[in-house]
Structure 1
Amino acid sequence: MKQDFFKENSSRPRQQARLLLFFLTLSFHFVSGQNSPIGSWETHFNYRLARQVIKVKNHIFCGSYNGLSSVDANNQIKTWSKIDGLHETGISSLAYDEAQNTLILAYRNGNLDFVTLDDEAKPTQIDPWRLLNETQGIPEDKSVRHIILKDQSAYLCTSFGIVILDLGQKQVKETYRYIGQDGTQVSVKQAAFSADSLFALTSQGLLAVSTSPTVNRQYFANWKAISAPGQIVSVGTFGKDIYAGIAGSGLFKREKAAWKLVYTSKSQHYNIRESQDHLVVALDNEFVTIDKTGTIQHLADPKFRMLNDAILTDERTYWAADGHNGLLTDSGTGFQSVNPAQSDTTISPRLDSVIIDLDGLSWSRLPGYLGGGILVKNTQTQQQRVLSTNVGSGSLPSQNINSLALDNDGFVWFASDKGVGYIAPQDILGGGRVDAILPVYGERKLFATEKCTAIAVEPGNRKWIGTRNGIFLFNADGTELVEKFTAADTPLPSDQINALRFDATTGRLFVDTPNGMVSYQSNASEPAENLESVTIFPNPVRPNFSGQIGFKGLVQSSTVKITTLSGRLVYQTTSQGGTASWNLDDYTGRRARGGIYMVFIVSESGSEKLAGKLAVIE
C-alpha cells in the first residue's frame, strides 16, 4: 500500500507536523548542534581593533577595522557581518539617524548600508547605497572618514571632499570637492558645525565657510583657512562652539577668531565629540570630559592603549573604543573589555610553506630573494634539489610559488603567480627529468594568467584554490570546476585571498583575506573507519529550509542512497571523504515532499547499512 500519510493536505498540515515531531521523538536519533549547516559561514574577525562607538537606543555599537559588534542592556554581545545581511566588510564610520531609526554604516570602499531598526535595535531592513563606489572620476580611495548628521542630511567626509546626502531621498544634494587653495581638491578627515559656519579638517588644514543660505559653499573662495598654534588633528562641536585637538599641545576652544587652551596634553591623537551634554575627548591613552559649566574630568586606565573614541550614555556610563583592547566600559572599579569571544583571527603560521610528502621528503617554497621555486630535501641524507621554470627541472609556470599542498594520491600541488599544477614525487631526488603537470580547464592551462595565492586539499581530494578574484573549488585533477565563491555573492570579506586552511575533522575551510578571516562549512570531511557513528543534520528538516542536508561519519567514497518508506530511490550521491550532502531535490529536480525518508550507506566494499531516517516537514 502506498504511503500517503504525509501527503500535503490543507486541512491538517499543523496536525501532521505535530504527529511527525512526536513520531520522531520516539524513533529517531536527533543530531545535536555540533554540526554546522553545510554551506554556512562564520566570521573570525579581530574586534579588538576598535575605532568608533555609538549608542543606538539601549544598545552600544562598536565598529572595528573589519567587524561590527553590539552590546544590549543585558550585556549580550552580537557580531554583525555579511552573514546577517550587511553588504560589505570594513567599517570606516558609523552614525545613527534617530529621526528615521536608522543605523548608517560607511565602509572603506565607499559604500554605505542604511540599517532600519525596530524598537529593540534589531534590523528590519538593510538598504545598500553604492553611488560613491560606482561613480567614475573620483579618487580610488572612496572611504567615508566621518559622518555628521544635520537637518536630515548626512555630511560624508571623504578623500575628495564633503558629500551631502539627503537622508530621505538617499540622493546627493551637494558636493564640496574643489574647496582648497585656488580651487584644488582636498581630502577631508572631519567636519563640525558652529552657530554660523561649517568647519572642515582637510589635507590643507582647517577650512571654514558660512552656513548662510546665500553663500555658495561649492565655490572655493568662500572657504577661509583657519590658522592655529600647531597641527590640528581633530575638530568637533560642543553646543555651538568649535573645539580642536592640536598634536603635542592640547585641546583648544575657538573664541572670537582665536584659540583658547582648555586642556594641556602631549597627545598626538585626539577625537572630539559631544555626548550627553558633555564634550568627550579621546587622547592617546586617556580621555577627558567637559560639562556645560566648564568642569573638566580626566579618566585614565591601564587598558587604554590607543583610544580612538569615547562616549557618555544617559546612564552616566562611559564606553570607549580602543585600538588594542576593543570595546571598553566603566565597570565602577575600572574599565573592562566587552568584546565577542574569538580564537584565531588569521591563518598563522602558514602550513602551506613547507610540507612533507608520503616518502618523508620536505618540500619548501623558496622566497624571491633566494630565486624562488621549490626546494625538495631529504632531511636525513641532506640530499636536495631545487625545482624551477627550467624544462626538465620542474617546468614550473612561475618561480613565484605561493602555496604547497599534498593531495590524497601523494601528488604535491602548488599555487603560483601563473596558475596551479602538481608534481609526482617518485624518485624526485634521483636526478632524472621532472616536469610539473598543469591541469587544463576550458581548453587552456588552469589559471595560466591568474595569480593563485593559496591551495588546500580536502579529504575528498578536491582542490580549493585561492586567487585575487575569489575561491575556486575544482575536482581532484583540476579539470572540472565545482563551485566559485566571490565577495559579491557570498560572505567573503574580499576577493583577495591570502591563505586557505582546511580542517579535515570538521570540514571547515578557513579563508584569510585582507579584510579579515571567515570559514565555510563544506560538504567534505575526514572519513571514518566504520559506519557506526553516522549523523544526519539537520533532522528533522523544518519548513522553508533552503540549505543542504549533511551526512557525516561516512567511510571514504561511501554511496548514500535516500529512499521513500516504500523503497523508491529518491537521490543517490557519493561522499567527499566522510561527508555527503543533499539539497532536497530528487532526480527530476523537484523538491522532496514532506515525509519520512530512509538513508542507506553503501561502502566501497559493498556492505550496506541503514544509517537512519530523515524527516522532512512541510
Structure 2
Amino acid sequence: MFKKLIVFLICLLPLSAMAQDFSALWTGHFSYYNIKQVAQGTNKIYAASENAIFTIDIATNEIKELNTVNGLSGETISTIYYSDVYQLLVIGYENGLIEIVFDNNDTILTVVGILDKVTIPSSNKKINHFYGYGNKIYIATNYGISVYNLERLEFGDTYFIGAGGSQIAVNQTTVFGDYIYAACYGGNGILKAQVSSRNLIDYNTWQTITTGDFKAIETVENNLYSVNTNRQIFRITNDVLTPLFQYSTIPYDVRNVAGQLMVTTASNVFVYTSDFTLTTQVALSSEFNTTYTTATTDATNIYIGTTDFGILKTPILSPIVFEEIHPDGPLLNTPFSLQVEPNGLWVTFGEHSVFYNPYPLNSRGISHFKNKTWVNTPYGEVFDAKCLNAISINPSNSKQVFISSFFSGLLEVNDDIPTKLYNETNSGLESLILSNDPNYVDVRVGPSAFDSNGLLWTASGFVEKALKSYNPSSNQWKSYALIEASGNPGYGDIVIGSDQTKWLAGSFKYGLIGFNENNGSPKVKQIYTEAENMPTSFVSALALDTKSQLWIGTYSGLRVLYNTSSFFDDDVSVDEIIILEDGIAKELLYEQYITDIKVDGANNKWIGTGDSGLFYLSSDGQNTIYHFTKDNSPLPSNSIREVAIDNTNGIIYIATSKGLVSFRSGSSSTSETLASAFVYPNPVRPNFSMIDQKVKIKGVSENVNIKITDIEGNLVAEAQSKTNLRYNGYNLEVDGGTVYWNGKNLANKVVASGVYLIMLSDLDTYETKVLKLMVVR
C-alpha cells in the first residue's frame, strides 16, 4: 500500500499535495465544543468541529487533536468519513476541498480537484456526504456526485444528474442492490441508476423515483430508508415510499452503524434495528442545554455530537448518564480580542463590523487560558452583556479584568467570576440617543487601556463625551469630549504614552486622534488628510514602540509618527516606510488593511492584516522577518483579528477569523539587570541540534556584550545587542532579552564537547555575569 501511495502521489501533483506538520513551534488553541460530524474508525471515534478534529480512543478515552498545526487546512468542515479498508479518514469541506488523513496522523493528503474546478460555481462545491463502496467513495455535493478512488488516490467521473445534465444539490448517496441512489434538494427528489453502468455521467441514465426535497438516504442490510425535509422517514421497497414516522424536527444525520439505523435530530438520537424496530432513544439531558448534531455507536456506548459540549458519551442500555468528551479549548473558533497576562491569555468573541455595527447582536461568553488550562465563562454568566470585545487587566490587581461590551457597557471580572456590569445606570458610561426612540439603550464601549496612574480609559461610540476614565480604587468616572465624538460609531484602538497622551484610532473617517488632559486644559488634535500623508482617514490599529514612535495601521496601509512629543504644538505629518524590493523602492504594506500592531521585547513589530496574514518586521520595518499565511503556516485564515505577545515566554497569540493559534518566537523583553540571566538547554546533549534549535541565553539587559570562550579562554563567539540582531545570519544573535547561539565558533565550525564560559557585560551599568555551559557531542 505504501509503495502505491508514493507512485500515485507523484502522478497526481498538482491536484494533490502533502501537508506540513508545524508542531515544533506552533500550538493550536481550537474550540471542539461544536461538533459537525462524527465517524467511527478502528477503535476510534473521530469528531469534527468547525475546522479541527479530535479522536477518542474507545478503550482508553485518550484524546488527540488534529488541526492546522498538524497540517489541516483550517477551512470549514462539512462532513467526514473513515475507511476501515484503507485505514484513512476523509474530510470534506464547504469550499470543495478534500483532505485525507492516514491512520498514523503523520501524513495528510490535500485534494483540490473540486476546489479548483472552474466550471463549478464556488457556491456549489460544498461536500455534503461520502459513501464508501468497494475501492471508491461517492462524493455527494451541491453540484452532483463525484467519484474518488481510495486505492489509487485519484478522481474518477463526475455525475451532473439534474435535468439536461444540470448541477443539482445531492445530500447523500447509497448503494442498494444493483443501484446507486441519490437524495436531492431543489425538488429533485430521489434519483437512481445502475451502479455498474459505465455511462453514469449521462444524466439520462438516472431515473427519478420521487420528487420533493430529501435530506438523506441510507441502506441498512436489506432495507432502504430515506428522510425528506417534511421530517418524514420512509422505507423504499421497489421504488415505492412507505412513510414510517414523522420527527419533530428535520433529522441532521441518518446513518448505518453496524447494521443499525441511527437518526439524529436536534433533541433525540434514535437507534433502530434494520427492520425499523426502535431499540434505543436518547433524549436531551437537562444537565446539558445543547442541540444534537450527529451520533455513532459501538457495542457499549453511543457517542453524540453536540453544538456546545463536544461529544456526549452515554451507555446504550441506560442512556441517562452522560460523559462530556472534548479537548481543552476556548468557547468558540471566532476569537475577536486578546489580552495576555503572565503565563495566560484572555479571549472574547464579540465581533462588530468594520464600520462598528454590532448588529446582529451576538451573545457569547469569555475564555481565559491560565496554567495551561482553559476556563470558559458562558454567556449566561456575563449579565447578558453582548458583543464583548476589548480586554484590560488591572496592572495593580491582575485578578481584576475589565471587558468592553459594544452594546451593554463594561463588564468587571474578578477571579474569573463576572461581578458587575457598568452601564448608563450605575457609571459614567452613556447610551447613544435615538431621536425616534428615546427609551432605546445601547452603550457601545470599545477599546480600553490602563495608564500608569491606575486609571482605566475607554472609548465609546455615538456619544458626545466619548473618552472615559475610571478609577477602580475610588469608583470615580470622568468624561472627555473628542473631535465630533457624537457622530463617531466607534474607535479602533487606544494606546497611552509615557507623557499620558491618549492616542485613539478614530474609526473610518476621523483619522488619528491625540488627547492629553494637560493639567485641566485638555488638548485634542487629529490628523487624517493627504496633506498630513495619511493614506486614508480610516485608522484601525495603533502601537507605541520602545522609542515612543507611534505606528499607525489604516484601512489602506501603514504609517509612523516618529516625533510624538511635538504632536500638539507643530504641524505634523506621518511617514510611510520605504523598502527596497529587487532594487526598487516600494512602500511597506502598501494599501494593506492593517487590523493590529503589536511590539515585542526586541522592539520588532507584529502586524496583522485583513486578508494577507501576519507580518513580523524588524524594529525599523526595513526587514520582513516572517510573513505567515495559510499557505506557509498553521494560520487557519489570512484574516488576522488581533495579536497578543507574551514577552516573558516569547509566545505570540494570533486570533484569526477561523480560530486561535500561537507561535513560539523565542524573543523576550530585556531585563533591568543580568541577575536572572540563564542558559538552556544545559547541558547540551548529543540529540539536541544547536544549528536548528539553538542554545538560548535568557534574561539579558538592553545594551549588553556577550562573549563565549572555551575553558582555556579562547574566544569562540562574540556579539553585542545593538549590532548582532537576530535573523541577520550571525552565529550569535540577539533578539531583545534573548541571545541565540547556533553552536558555531569563529571558524564557522560546530564546537566540540567541553565546558564553555558565557560572559555577559552590561555596557551601560558595567554589571557582569558569567554562565557555564556544558556541551556533549
Q: Please tell me whether the aligned partners of residues 272 and 280 of structure 1 are also in contact (alpha carbons under 8 angstroms).
A: yes
**What CA RMSD, in Å, does the superposition of the two structures yield over aligned residues?**
2.8
Query: Given the alignment of the two structures, is residue 563 of structure 1 paired with residue 706 of structure 2, yes or no?
Result: no
Spell out, residue by residue over 1:573-617, the C-alpha distance to the aligned partner (whole angstroms, 9 max, x if none).
4343322323445556554455443333232424331133143x4
> Could you tell me which residue of structure 1 aligns to residue 92 of structure 2?
106
Structure 1 unpaired stretches of 5+: 1-36
Spell out, residue by residue over 1:257-286, the C-alpha distance to the aligned partner (whole angstroms, 9 max, x if none).
333333322213421011122111111122
List aligned pairs for 1:28-427, cutoff 5 A: 40-72=25-57, 73-86=59-72, 90-117=76-103, 122-123=104-105, 125-140=107-122, 142-176=125-159, 178-204=160-186, 205-214=188-197, 216-227=199-210, 231-247=213-229, 249-296=231-278, 297-302=280-285, 303=288, 305-314=290-299, 316-330=300-314, 333-343=320-330, 346=335, 347=337, 348=348, 349-350=389-390, 353-368=493-508, 371-378=509-516, 381=521, 383-392=523-532, 395-423=533-561, 424-427=563-566
Cα offset, 1:212, TM superposition:
4.3
Greater mean deviation of Cα atoms: 77-86 or 150-159: 77-86
> Could you tell me which residue of structure 1 aligns to residue 645 of structure 2?
502
> Could you tell me which residue of structure 1 aligns to residue 400 of structure 2?
none
Q: Which amino acid aligns with 1:156?
A: I
- Tell me how far apart the structure 1 counterparts of residues 86 and 770 of structure 2 sit (CA, whole Å): 56
SS at match of 2:114: helix
Cα offset, 1:233, TM superposition:
2.8
Cα offset, 1:311, TM superposition:
0.2
SS at match of 2:672: coil
SS at match of 1:555: coil
User: Out of 599, 609, 612, which is 2:769 matched to?
Assistant: 609
| Number of residue equivalences | 569
**1:249 and 1:131, CA in 2 relative to 1: closer, same or farther beyond 3 A?**
closer
> Could you tell me which residue of structure 2 aligns to residue 538 of structure 1?
681
**1:318 and 1:388, CA in 2 relative to 1: closer, same or farther beyond 3 A?**
same
Cα offset, 1:429, TM superposition:
3.2
Runs of 4+ in 1 over 6 A off after TM superposition: none
Q: Please tell me whether the aligned partners of residues 175 and 195 of structure 2 are also in contact (alpha carbons under 8 angstroms).
A: no
Q: Please tell me whether the aligned partners of residues 245 and 270 of structure 1 are also in contact (alpha carbons under 8 angstroms).
A: no
Cα offset, 1:136, TM superposition:
4.1
Q: Which has the higher relative contact order, 1 or 2, with Cα contacts under 8 A spaced 6 or more apart?
A: 1
> Could you tell me which residue of structure 2 aligns to residue 520 of structure 1?
663
Q: Please tell me whether the aligned partners of residues 505 and 542 of structure 2 are also in contact (alpha carbons under 8 angstroms).
A: yes
Q: Which amino acid aligns with 2:52?
A: G
Greater mean deviation of Cα atoms: 449-458 or 124-133: 124-133
Q: Please tell me whether the aligned partners of residues 707 and 759 of structure 2 are also in contact (alpha carbons under 8 angstroms).
A: yes
Cα offset, 1:388, TM superposition:
0.8
Spell out, residue by residue over 1:100-137, the C-alpha distance to the aligned partner (whole angstroms, 9 max, x if none).
222223344544333332xxxx3354433333334444
> Could you tell me which residue of structure 1 aligns to residue 467 of structure 2?
none
List aligned pairs for 1:437-586, cutoff 5 A: 437-442=575-580, 443-467=585-609, 468-542=611-685, 543=687, 545=689, 546-573=692-719, 574=721, 575-586=734-745
**1:544 and 1:612, CA in 2 relative to 1: closer, same or farther beyond 3 A?**
closer
Q: Please tell me whether the aligned partners of residues 184 and 214 of structure 2 are also in contact (alpha carbons under 8 angstroms).
A: no
Cα offset, 1:310, TM superposition:
0.2
Q: Please tell me whether the aligned partners of residues 285 and 307 of structure 1 are also in contact (alpha carbons under 8 angstroms).
A: yes
Cα offset, 1:528, TM superposition:
2.5
SS at match of 1:259: strand
**1:360 and 1:38, CA in 2 relative to 1: closer, same or farther beyond 3 A?**
farther
**1:469 and 1:571, CA in 2 relative to 1: closer, same or farther beyond 3 A?**
farther
Spell out, residue by residue over 1:282-317, the C-alpha distance to the aligned partner (whole angstroms, 9 max, x if none).
111221111134321321123262222100113x21
Q: Please tell me whether the aligned partners of residues 181 and 190 of structure 2 are also in contact (alpha carbons under 8 angstroms).
A: yes
Q: Please tell me whether the aligned partners of residues 235 and 271 of structure 1 are also in contact (alpha carbons under 8 angstroms).
A: no
User: Out of 758, 764, 777, which is 1:599 matched to?
Assistant: 758
Spell out, residue by residue over 1:426-477, the C-alpha distance to the aligned partner (whole angstroms, 9 max, x if none).
24334x3121121111212211133333221112110111232222211112
Cα offset, 1:56, TM superposition:
1.8
SS at match of 2:122: coil
> Could you tell me which residue of structure 2 aligns to residue 20 of structure 1?
none
Q: Please tell me whether the aligned partners of residues 236 and 273 of structure 1 are also in contact (alpha carbons under 8 angstroms).
A: yes
- Tell me how far apart the structure 2 counterparts of residues 460 and 54 of structure 1 sit (CA, whole Å): 47
Q: TM-score, normalised by structure 1?
A: 0.84
Q: Which amino acid aligns with 2:695?
A: I
**1:252 and 1:209, CA in 2 relative to 1: closer, same or farther beyond 3 A?**
closer
Spell out, residue by residue over 1:5-37, the C-alpha distance to the aligned partner (whole angstroms, 9 max, x if none).
xxxxxxxxxxxxxxxxxxxxxxxxxxxxxxxx9
**1:253 and 1:517, CA in 2 relative to 1: closer, same or farther beyond 3 A?**
same
SS at match of 1:182: helix
- Tell me how far apart the structure 1 counterparts of residues 147 and 757 of structure 2 sit (CA, whole Å): 61
Cα offset, 1:551, TM superposition:
2.4
Cα offset, 1:382, TM superposition:
5.0
Q: Please tell me whether the aligned partners of residues 46 and 66 of structure 1 are also in contact (alpha carbons under 8 angstroms).
A: no
**1:588 and 1:223, CA in 2 relative to 1: closer, same or farther beyond 3 A?**
farther
User: Out of 430, 433, 436, which is 2:571 matched to?
Assistant: 433
SS at match of 1:420: strand
Q: Please tell me whether the aligned partners of residues 231 and 251 of structure 2 are also in contact (alpha carbons under 8 angstroms).
A: no
- Tell me how far apart the structure 1 counterparts of residues 145 and 601 of structure 2 sit (CA, whole Å): 52
**1:256 and 1:580, CA in 2 relative to 1: closer, same or farther beyond 3 A?**
same
Q: TM-score, normalised by structure 2?
A: 0.68
- Tell me how far apart the structure 2 counterparts of residues 363 and 416 of structure 1 sit (CA, whole Å): 14
**1:489 and 1:549, CA in 2 relative to 1: closer, same or farther beyond 3 A?**
farther
- Tell me how far apart the structure 1 counterparts of residues 664 and 626 of structure 2 sit (CA, whole Å): 14
SS at match of 1:69: strand
- Tell me how far apart the structure 1 counterparts of residues 184 and 74 of structure 2 sit (CA, whole Å): 27
Q: Which amino acid aligns with 1:388?
A: Y
SS at match of 1:243: strand
- Tell me how far apart the structure 2 counterparts of residues 61 and 608 of structure 1 sit (CA, whole Å): 56
SS at match of 1:131: coil
Identical pairs, percent: 23
SS at match of 2:69: helix
Spell out, residue by residue over 1:357-405, the C-alpha distance to the aligned partner (whole angstroms, 9 max, x if none).
222222222333xx2422322366554223213414xx32122222211
SS at match of 2:249: coil
Structure 2 unpaired stretches of 5+: 1-21, 338-347, 349-388, 391-446, 448-491, 722-733
- Tell me how far apart the structure 1 counterparts of residues 156 and 167 of structure 2 sit (CA, whole Å): 19
